[in-house]
Amino acid sequence: MGLPLSLVRSLDLTDPATFAAHDPRDIWPEARRHEPVFWHEARDGKPGFWVVTRHADVLAAYQDADRLGSARGTVLDVLLRGDDPAGGKMLAVTDRPRHRQLRQLLLRAFSPRVLGPVTERIAARTLDLVRSVTGRGSFDFATEVADELPMNTICDLLSVPDGDRKELLRWNKMALSSEDPDSGELDALGARNEIVLYFMDLALERRASPGDDVISMIATAEVGGARLTPEEVALNCYSLILGGDESSRMSALVAVYELARHPEQWDALRAGEVALDTAVEEVLRWATPAMHFARTATQELEIAGRRIRAGDIVTLWNTSANDDETVFASPRAFDLARTPNKHLSFGHGPHFCVGAHLGRAGLRSLLSALVATVGRIEPHGEPERVHSTFLFGYRSLRVGFRPR
């Protein structure tokens, strides 16, 4: 059913408390039906912005990169404060033609030659971790398992020394201030600076003596006839962590939580009645870790009959698009066998997630390790949600894994 439209129109979508108070899926159904594109009024000194809710409109907006640009920023929180300082330098917040050049470079980090060994390591690491917590009674899946997975994968990709990884994870959680409602914007800014400075040092080191790793590759390549500056190298290394760590971690947490809550789905998965790859897509749809992405109109355009002016901020709500009943039958059912499954969890069009293959491989390894090792997944209390207007997921999830 969802919240009444009048209430939805009065919600402050810039406040993480809004998403803590409501299941994000309850916010959108009435808007999709009656006012699929609406204007969120300016408040508390923050500018207003457009809210796009239907699958077809979100998809078309992702595709329309010429009229809906990314260079001013793609996350609402950042855009409301002004332009993203990484604009034009970091892949995700760059527009054509520079975006295409940078993307070609970054895609080399995701070639089969690089990814083959990385995905093998993901599978082995995930199986070890799942085995280590199985039969142990109640444990926190967030800190004992999920924390260890994507960050290590991305650090493998970048050949970040083992000893530095814990610190990077801590900074990254602070940078997105998703763990602690009390951690402030200054802490977040400090953490982001630490990460960029850390990668600038590595970039200079590897430029001086390149190895066979992705940082060396980015640091020594030419883009549009010139090498990237150390800051650009660092920002693009950071963008892999920004794009890949939290989103993959959140989808792993949502997978385990939903399997614990839906024993019939877990049984079907264990019995091999559902293909792992099909199940992975439903976990991604259900989790929708990036609740929205945002754009800025570079010229006047229309979306669903609403006139958008040049300079307006436009937010695209993946959470709503992935629940659109005109695209998904019974969208509120967690159905691992769902096909087709045209979710927008990885976005669409020119900025489609470059790490989608890795994100999928991580989830596939998790489901496969659970099926091989675990008999029953027992919920132990309610999980704690992350505190964010951007990310959906959990910072703590207590469960027990009974051995097969």
Residue 391 as a binder of ligand HEM (CB under 6 A): the answer is: no
Distance CA 369, CA 124 (A): 9
Residue 70 as a binder of ligand HEM (CB under 6 A): the answer is: yes
Task: Print the binding letters for residues 279-318 with ligand HEM: x by CB under 6 A, - otherwise.
Answer: ----------xx--x-------------------------
Beta bridge partners of 317: 292
CB 373 within 8 A of CB 127: yes
Best CA proximity match to 38, nearest among 57, 59, 16:
57
Identity of the residue, 152 or 247, whose beta carbon is nearer to ligand HEM in the bound complex? 247
Q: Given candidates 73, 359, 383, 400, which one binds ligand HEM under the rule CB under 6 A?
A: 359
What amino acid is encoded at 399 in this protein?
Answer: V
Q: Which segment (18-26, 181-189, 244-252, 264-272) binds ligand HEM by CB under 6 A?
A: 244-252
Q: Residue 375 CB, nearest distance to ligand HEM (Å)?
A: 26
Distance CA 298, CA 361 (A): 36
Distance CA 253, CA 248 (A): 9
Task: Print the binding letters for residues 119-158 with ligand HEM: x by CB under 6 A, - otherwise.
Answer: -----------------------------------x----
Strand, helix or coil at 317? strand
Q: Given candidates 215, 240, 313, 391, which one binds ligand HEM under the rule CB under 6 A?
A: 240
Secondary structure letter of residue 229 according to DSSP? P
Beta bridge partners of 302: 307
Q: Residue 336 CB, nearest distance to ligand HEM (Å)?
A: 16
For residue 298, CA distances in Å to 31, 217, 232 come to 25, 33, 24
Distance CA 396, CA 399 (A): 10
In the window 16-55, what residues touch ligand HEM (CB under 6 A)? none
Identity of the residue, 3 or 214, whose beta carbon is nearer to ligand HEM in the bound complex? 214
In the window 81-100, what residues touch ligand HEM (CB under 6 A)? 91-92
Q: Residue 101 CB, nearest distance to ligand HEM (Å)?
A: 11
* Token digits of residue 119: 């995905």
Distance CA 104, CA 116 (A): 19
For 319, phi then psi, to 5°, come to -60, -40
Q: Given candidates 53, 74, 119, 177, which one binds ligand HEM under the rule CB under 6 A?
A: 74
Conformation bin of residue 38: beta by default, left when phi > 0, alpha when psi is -120 to 50: beta
Residue 247 as a binder of ligand HEM (CB under 6 A): the answer is: yes
Q: Residue 7 CB, nearest distance to ligand HEM (Å)?
A: 27
CB 172 within 8 A of CB 147: no
Strand, helix or coil at 159? coil
Q: Residue 311 CB, nearest distance to ligand HEM (Å)?
A: 18
How many Å is the maximal CA-CA distance in the chain? 61
Q: Residue 6 CB, nearest distance to ligand HEM (Å)?
A: 30
Residue 345 as a binder of ligand HEM (CB under 6 A): the answer is: yes
Residue 251 as a binder of ligand HEM (CB under 6 A): the answer is: yes
Q: Which residue is nearest to ligand HEM (CB)?
A: 355
Residue 351 as a binder of ligand HEM (CB under 6 A): the answer is: yes
- Can you give the binding site for ligand HEM, defined by CB under 6 A? 62, 70, 74, 91-92, 103, 154, 239-240, 243-244, 247-248, 251, 289-290, 293, 345-347, 351, 353-355, 358-359
